[in-house]
Amino acid sequence: MEVATACEKNGCTTIIAPMDLSNEKSVSEAAQKVLDKKIKIDCLYQFAGISQRSLVSETPLFVDRRIFEINFFGAIALTKAVLPEMIKNGGGQLAVTSSLVGKFGFPFRSSYSATKHALHGFFESLRAENKQNNIQVSIFIPGRVKTNISVNAITKDGRTHGKMDAGQDTGISPEKAAKIIIRGLKKEKKEILVGGKELIMVHIRRFLPRLYYYLSSRIKD
């Protein structure tokens, strides 16, 4: 509502279509609510998701499935609902939120990391398939941004983590993150890194893998 109010103050028309990303029917109905308005959809930016705080050995499969339903299947369901209309209208821009751990594995984030790896594979394939359809695809790769993602993370028993992690608490502000994202979208960058000094891990994993393996094994919850 706050975003809609801010947009309307600047002369924009808004439509609010709530959805539950873990429910395919909910996603389909929300998308159809917008499509029925016959509005040309130029872009679809997806930010919703849920994180995790649990060890592989202690996490039951229903928790892994829930994380995948929201982070992966929810995102691709919404994309598939909108993509045909974008192609029909001559193109558009898709963007989805991955994570720093979408580039490598990370302790206590096994399925969260896996969902983000899966998004890379899906959206890179989508990009390759739709170059001729003028579909631009960007993937956001945030590190530490001070949001409530750690507070709302899911634990081994399916409950909410309920606290702000120290690393999250020292992350960049959402406002700064938004500015970085907007600049990247304007340039149609394929991957948009968002964060502070922690982003060095992407380069360590790529160029100094042995150092990455050492560092990742020393990370505590």
Catalytic (active-site) positions: 112
Give Cα 7 to chain centroid, integer Å: 22
End-to-end CA distance of the chain: 34
Residue 155: left (phi > 0), alpha (psi -120 to 50), or beta? beta
Residue 91, classified by CB atoms within 10 Å of its CB into exposed (0-12), middle (13-18) or buried (19+), is: middle
Any idea which residue has 């700064």 for tokens? 176
Residue 93: left (phi > 0), alpha (psi -120 to 50), or beta? beta
Contact criterion met (CB below 8 Å) for 171 and 148: no
Q: Which two tokens stand for residue 128?
A: 């390759």
Give which of 206, 177, 182 is closest to 194, Cα–Cα.
177
